[in-house]
Structure 1
């Protein structure tokens, strides 16, 4: 009797597998393994979407792709390759972004299950919200090196992807990047910013020039130099203009660029004597008097990317890469720009050489091109075996859903080492929805703390609503009784508001913004709490309970006024304000494994980046940007 019942249940699941419709979002490392598993398990109605094209570095682990596929659509090639395992399957491929308006609620409602094989937080947030709106189960997944995670998300039954706040990312103030670097990563980011200033999309927040607003500059040297020559560039008597404009005027001459960045700017920094009282001062360089240090002896047997460059080699590579990038930029025509890509040799050479030259100047350990490529891409290496295991777990969880036993689904974590019970795969019970989640809880309300007299409407749109709260195309109305619309998703309707401050629209402490994102079928009331200065020099902070926040603010205000003391008995102090958009967010180290006795979320373990993917690091591989911890 029991055996026959099992047979009936198995047959029922097989029928559902054959008839259900599945959406696979992402056709990279996990996505390739997942598509193969699905067609071999009996799933025949599958749709997959991926924006990316195939790169050579994908081929060592995304086994549905071959050398002849390089440059082609990942989703389309994955479809064609998966059909070889089961020609009877009906697979539809979209070479597109899942975050466009073409894939709304109606699109998601076509499917019985949605499976994520994504690489970034923004897309994960979006699919999470679409599945909640469409009331469809979502299987979320991710890998980072030997670590992996699979969890099931179902509206009203489990916590959603955004129920648990993501870890705060490590940040460095912009003045550290521009004035006082102390780690190799500071030099790498400076070099990437310099690339954008010269060849890419110019961003004032990525200016690489010395920062005269550095809070440590107790002396007057920097400001005096600026005040005395307001119309001239303090580092060389050059009229103030964009870095690219100046570079174009000098014809992108490598020697002049070198002297501007690595001699004149450094001399200007040295004039800020207060910076160097407790630091090793930087050493300006001259193009015609560089150290001709030979490569290290132990470098000779290694691959070229893992050899240490001498300072002269760095200068030579710096010059060659500039010549190549200048030609590439000219091909873009007037107003054109280049996008930095770790797999573009000239762009990578530029960043590696510039970062090492700057590191030498500041007495920081210089890195190989291999190491810099890793840092520049915030890499955690992709491992094919991890992707295969996680893809298999996704299918196992989908069978539970189709059998009607979604309550038996687990969050499954893949560890690097076995736990005390000798298990590498650790299943954990799914958590209930967070009643204070501003995405899946019935009360769509969140409190955001910021300075209304300093934040612009554009910063609110780009950094708070889209960056912090995961919206895609919000419309924002001030709940002031007048229905003032400050942000519209329709292009051109509210652009004149971009540079205005929130306070210009009467937005102040306890103001409420009514935000609607029609693409996500999501609305949210944002309660604004005005605060002059935030902790850790943040530009804004997303918080939960307003009453708890108010109590915290009152305590902090008392502390700022000297009415309270810290634990050690000294009066509390506040940091000098540095706006967040002037800060650099750095990806932290590889996440820890999930301990056996305690469940730990790995929400920021990502599978692969949306551009070109990374190889598994081996003896002959180059570190490239594939699997990263997502920056929020």
Structure 2
């Protein structure tokens, strides 16, 4: 502990700080700053857990990591780097998921305090529930660009992380994506769907072909388009998946381009009802792409807007490379889109901008599309540093038995009317209807037992919607019939006919 820190803390608080065992969950942007702060504040018994390994993209803000650390465990390298600030600290690092059953309630009961430095909701929900079950205070935090928040969660005294519903990721109607895009994000989503249709998991909900069941189309409006699905002899054309069609054509760039950006667009134009109040799209020809470069203040590839000719060339090159990558996966292999895969990103950038040009939508730089396609809000190192400092401040209040002085602190992008970036408020009381932290937690789910399978109940509802990790389900029929068990193999061979 530094001399300045010693002089600012009372003897009792110094003792509490040095003697308490704490858990830090996450060793990324916030976690790196937090571990450094904890070591310099005098915390001497720290455990840290993180599942991730270090990526090159982490190096601009997660300052405990260096180039030579790429590919190594975040938690382990963070431990080694933190010890350089204070070699007297005892740090135990776990390269693992905090949701692993090994880290249950008994694990959490070891700690005086838990600090979250996470970036995903599922893990936050899990730590929230573990801390409630173990009755251990949790300091929760998060950042999004220039915004940040720190709050304290204590069983029975404050609302928990799940007391209020969280905003869900924005989705778009399929007909908007397939027929009538009007924003750059619509084109980016379409391009990601196209990647999956050509190289990834074949999801019918991600079809990129024109949607003839668009609600805007009356029975007559799409007639001309639908006629094209019938051959001259009156027989229906065999409908093939995008992947099958592409394979049959050897992933030929010109044929794929012509289908997606010329023929499908002409097909859309025949749905006349769609263009009565909209600017109609303009089909593009592979052999006649403009090389005019949109005005741009920079020549950096990531920052400038590509010409249509460049987009076409990149699109063709990416098809060839991805075809080879897919073949390397074997007969039933597939590729998973990754924002950090150069070829996969270039494919989406080129496809999204070509489609945007067709529909008269502003095109975007590679940097912007990476942010949109990866659902990325750029991480700001300064924001992480401020939030990490606030976490320690709230922790000191807890250890000094000043829980009544704990607050929820918001870091704003712009100063408030008091000319302050930080806005602190009282901690909210628990939501009495919260199905996680209320005295008698319960939730009612209405199901159609004739259609819903047990697997759907377990995966989609219990694990997906309700965030359970290892649920147990028993039927209240007087016999204690178990239909879902957290114990592997316990329900094998069980068949439920009806109830």
Taking structure 2 as the reference length, what is the TM-score of the superposition?
0.89
Residue of structure 2 aligned with 1:335, choices 325, 332, 337: 332
Question: Which structure has the higher relative contact order (CA within 8 Å, separation 6+)?
Answer: 1
Q: 8 Å contact 1:219–1:274 — kept in the other structure?
A: no
1:287 positional shift: 1.8
Q: CA offset at residue 418 of structure 1?
A: 2.8
* CA deviation map 1:26-84 (0-9, x unaligned): 11110000000111111121111112121222212111011111222111111110011
Structure 1: how far apart are the matches of 2:188 and 2:498?
A: 40
Mapped partners of 1:217, 1:434: distance in 2:
45
Q: Which residue of 2 aligns with 1:115?
A: 115
Q: Does the Cα contact within 8 Å between 2:27 and 2:75 map onto a contact in 1?
A: yes
On the 8 A contact 1:219/1:272 being kept in 2, the answer is: no
Deviation at 1:396, TM superposition (A): 1.3
Partner of 1:252, secondary structure, is coil
Counterpart for residue 74 of structure 2: 74
Number of paired residues?
490
Q: CA deviation at 1:372?
A: 1.0
Secondary structure of the residue aligned to 1:444 is coil
CA contact (8 A) 2:13 2:399 kept: yes
Contact 1:115 1:139 in 2 (8 A): yes
Partner of 2:268: 269
Q: Matches of 2:346 and 2:445 in 1, distance apart?
A: 41
Q: How does 1:560-579 map to 2 (within 5 A)?
A: none
Describe how 1:211-610 pairs up with structure 2 within 5 A: 211-220=211-220, 221=222, 225=227, 239-290=238-289, 292-296=290-294, 298-299=295-296, 301-448=298-445, 458-477=455-474, 479=476, 487-489=484-486
Partner residue in 2 for 1:102: 102
Aligned mates of 1:104, 1:407 — CA distance in 2? 29
- Cα distance in 1 for residues equivalent to 2:128 and 2:227: 52
How far apart in 1 are the matches of 2:250 and 2:487?
Answer: 40
Return closer, same or farther for 1:54/1:251 CA change in 2, 3 Å cut-off: same
Q: Compute the displacement of 1:376 (Å).
A: 1.0
C-alpha spacing 1:497/1:124, structure 2 compared with 1 (3 Å)? farther
Question: 1:362, CA displacement in angstroms?
Answer: 1.8
* Paired position in structure 1 for 2:23: 23
CA distance in 2, matches of 1:9, 1:370: 46
How far off its partner does 1:311 sit? 1.3
Does the C-alpha gap of structure 1 residues 210 and 497 become closer, same or farther in structure 2, counting only changes over 3 Å? farther
Aligned equivalents of 1:81, 1:171: Cα separation in 2: 41
Deviation, 1:325, is 1.6
Give the whole-Å Cα distance in 2 for the aligned partners of 1:138 and 1:455: 37
Query: Does the C-alpha gap of structure 1 residues 379 and 450 become closer, same or farther in structure 2, counting only changes over 3 Å?
Result: farther
How big is each residue's C-alpha offset from its partner over 1:153-203, in whole Å with a ceiling of 9 and x where there is no partner? Answer: 011111100111223553321221122211110110111111122222332
C-alpha change, 1:192 and 1:480, in structure 2 (3 Å) is: farther
* Consecutive unaligned residues in structure 2, runs of 5 or more: 1-5
Structure 1 residues 253 and 224 mapped into 2: Cα distance closer, same or farther (>3 Å)?
closer
Q: CA deviation at 1:210?
A: 2.3
Task: Give a deviation string over 1:219-246, Cα, whole Å, max 9, x none.
Answer: 35469559858xx998xx5x54443333
Residues of 1 paired with 2:183 and 2:480: CA distance? 49
Residue 308 of structure 1 aligns to a residue whose secondary structure is coil
Which residue of 2 is the match for residue 592 of structure 1?
none
Name the CA distance, whole Å, in 2 between partners of 1:324 and 1:9: 60
- Displacement of 1:269: 2.6
SS state at 2:361 partner: coil
Instruction: Mark the CA change 1:169 to 1:59 in structure 2 (over 3 Å): closer, same or farther.
Output: closer
Mean Cα deviation higher: 277-286 or 6-15: 6-15
CA offsets, 1:490-517, max 9 Å, x none? 678879999x9xxx956xxxxxxxxxxx
Larger deviation, residues 130-139 vs 472-481: 472-481
Which runs of 5 or more structure 1 residues have no equivalent in the other structure?
1-5, 507-632
CA distance in 2, matches of 1:448, 1:315: 50
Give the distance between the partners of 1:40 and 1:494, measured in 2 at CA.
Answer: 51
Q: TM-score, normalised by structure 1?
A: 0.71
Query: By how many angstroms is 1:391 displaced?
Result: 0.6
The SS at the match of 1:164 is: coil
Q: 1:403 to 1:265 in 2, by over 3 A?
A: same
